[in-house]
Amino acid sequence: MAYRAPEIEIPKVDIWSAIFDRASKPFPDSQIIYQNPDTGRHYTFSYLRETTISFGRGLRRKWAWKKNDVLALFAQNCIDTPAITWGVHWAGGIVSPANPAYTVRELVHHLKDSGARALFTQKNLLPVAMKAAEEAGIKKECVILIGDEEERGLGYWRELLVGSEEEGKEGKEVINAEKDLAFLVYSSGTTGLPKGVMLSHYNVVSDMYMVHSSESTFLHWKDDSLLSVLPYYHIYGLQCLVHFPAFFGLKSIVMTSFDLNKFCQIIQDHKITYTYVAPPVVLHLAKSPVVEKYDLRSLRMITSGAAPLSKELIFKVHERLGTEVKQAYGLSETSPVTHMQKKWNLGLGSNGPPLPNLVVKFMSPEGVEVPLGKEGELWIKGPSTFLGYHNNEAATKSSMTPDGFFKTGDIGYEDKDGNMWITDRVKELIKYKGFQVAPAELEGVLAGCELVDDVAVIGVQDEEMHTEVPMACVVPKQGVERDQEAKRRIVEWVHERVAGHKRLRGGVEWVEEVPKSASGKILRRVLKEKFKGYKLV
């Protein structure tokens, strides 16, 4: 048996209590937790706590907020997001974050599927937000702005706060941590369209404690500060950048979106010591000349996840900046972190050992556990494993075993030291720079294009960018000229209808037919084989 971290004790409490009623909180209430680098506006721990209660009370009193009501957040990273999130939880609600790059079509799907009652957004996103809210049947007065801006005719979230003079005796909603949902995040899972991943309070609290048991050995609230650049709407940012700062007591400087110059400037100005990123940021740090312009010596450590990272880039960053890059692995369905390197040079290139309290195994296609060191599909079970897909029993059943294992759809193995290596993926999912692209969704969009008779979307590797990109294998309609112009029009068709990360960066290839099984399922493996080593133009 390979290495296993010792079990830890995890309280069965809701997220708000885990963060704000924690008996052994090691840092002072005056600690700054989130700060806007442009305005300096910030939340201390005590102000955060106060604001969550004030907002939760406001939701209940002014909107008659009920348990399990869903609030959708459609926003770029903003220091108000954590207070809003935990205010909703305080009042017993569920938060469903949406990608701020969504088009109207995508946001409508998200709002309808999650059953959102309100949409909190930002001024620059209003054109999409208003249209989508209307189509999804959300009342205009329930579209609310967050951040520093206010817009005439629309509600502003701070108007919902109730002042201390109005404080009554009513308290936080009673929450069953194991059963009640905290978040509905969206993931396509192993197949099909994005689905609502139901995460309970206990799921998220478990992951917080499990990661804390690993990270707290080298992170200290007094010495460390965090740069928050991953998007809050994705489970990786949501857990590592919304929850961890308040749980660890880490000051985090919050960026709205990635810009390399600004990223480096903030590290230099704020003496940032730690950041969580996806591999493309590591690529910049390894290769971009921009990095030379800044003093990044404070940056002690980086954790990279959401997509594979090569050893070569890890070495390059270490050589260039002296910064240690370690890897971690996770999924939306596991709240998310399940594996984490303890130190960058222990199991270098792997994702490290599993976190405590998790049971992991690697399975053959026949459903038999493979021996240590052999490749198989990674199955995971533990307190952070999700409750199922929202309103989708079929998908839940096919991804979970009756005894509670989640089938990740990733292929890998564990070495004798317990380190996990990902080698392949059996699920459909494409990861563009760590962001999810569901082939089935793009195929649905392409089915509406007049040039397309049949289509399958697969991921191909962009060697230069170190990422997968979606590519469409298209059977054109009869009479369509198989030329560059037709390809351009197909790429354009998708471009106009999806968020930026889903664009057909891998282009279009003509095929005679889309290979399918007897039951009509697309045989993606056949196409992946056919286009192995495909050179992007």
CB of residue 331 to ligand 4UW, shortest distance in Å: 4
Q: Which is nearer to ligand 4UW, 173 or 377 (CB)?
A: 377
Q: Is 18 in the site for ligand 4UW (CB under 6 A)?
A: no
Q: Which is nearer to ligand 4UW, 97 or 305 (CB)?
A: 305
Q: Is 353 in the site for ligand 4UW (CB under 6 A)?
A: no
Instruction: Tell me which of 93, 100, 245, 308 binds ligand 4UW, using CB under 6 A.
Output: 308
Q: Which is nearer to ligand 4UW, 133 or 387 (CB)?
A: 387
Instruction: Tell me which of 75, 91, 331, 504 binds ligand 4UW, using CB under 6 A.
Output: 331
The tokens for 311 are 């050893």
Instruction: Tell me which of 100, 336, 347, 352 binds ligand 4UW, using CB under 6 A.
Output: 336
Q: Which is nearer to ligand 4UW, 199 or 514 (CB)?
A: 199
Q: Is 329 in the site for ligand 4UW (CB under 6 A)?
A: yes
Contact region with ligand 4UW (CB under 6 A), list: 108-116, 122-130, 326-334, 352-360: 326-334
Cβ contact 113:197 at 8 Å: no
CB of residue 309 to ligand 4UW, shortest distance in Å: 7
CA-wise closest residue to 266 among 231, 296, 302: 296
Q: How far is CA 9 from CA 209, 326, 337, 356, 418, in A?
A: 8, 25, 17, 10, 22
Decide the pairing of beta strands 155-156 and 359-363: unpaired
CA distance linking residue 297 with residue 20, whole number of Å: 33
Cβ contact 451:483 at 8 Å: no
CA distance linking residue 263 with residue 267, whole number of Å: 6
Question: What character string, x for contact with ligand 4UW (CB under 6 A) and - otherwise, covers 454-483?
Answer: ------------------------------
The tokens for 119 are 């949409």
Q: Is 501 in the site for ligand 4UW (CB under 6 A)?
A: no
Mapped to the 3 state alphabet, what secondary structure does 139-196 carry?
Answer: CHHHEEECCCCCCCCCEEHHHHCCCHHHCCCCCCCCCCCCCCEEEEEEECCCCCCCEE
Q: Is 209 in the site for ligand 4UW (CB under 6 A)?
A: no
Q: Which is nearer to ligand 4UW, 14 or 207 (CB)?
A: 207
Contacts of the segment 434-439: beta carbons below 8 A, 24+ positions apart: 434/234, 434/236, 434/278, 434/279, 434/280, 434/305, 434/306, 434/307, 435/234, 435/306, 435/501, 436/187, 436/188, 436/194, 437/470, 437/501, 437/502, 438/188, 438/192, 438/193, 438/194, 439/470, 439/524
Contact region with ligand 4UW (CB under 6 A), list: 92-100, 257-265, 293-301, 323-331: 323-331
Contact region with ligand 4UW (CB under 6 A), list: 43-51, 214-222, 405-413, 458-466: 405-413
Q: Is 219 in the site for ligand 4UW (CB under 6 A)?
A: no
Q: Is 351 in the site for ligand 4UW (CB under 6 A)?
A: yes
Instruction: Tell me which of 73, 101, 283, 422 binds ligand 4UW, using CB under 6 A.
Output: 422
* 175: Cα within 13 Å, side-chain hemisphere: 29
Instruction: Tell me which of 106, 173, 324, 410 binds ligand 4UW, using CB under 6 A.
Output: 410
Q: Is 337 in the site for ligand 4UW (CB under 6 A)?
A: yes
Contact region with ligand 4UW (CB under 6 A), list: 15-23, 60-68, 99-107, 232-240: 232-240
* Placement of tokens 């968020």 in the chain: 499
Number of residues that bind ligand 4UW (CB under 6 A): 27
Cβ contact 431:306 at 8 Å: yes
The tokens for 243 are 């929850």
Q: Which is nearer to ligand 4UW, 90 or 233 (CB)?
A: 233
Q: Using CB under 6 A as the criterion, which residues of the chain lie in contact with ligand 4UW when the complex forms?
A: 187, 235-236, 240, 276, 303, 305-308, 327-332, 336-337, 351, 408-410, 422, 425, 431, 434, 436
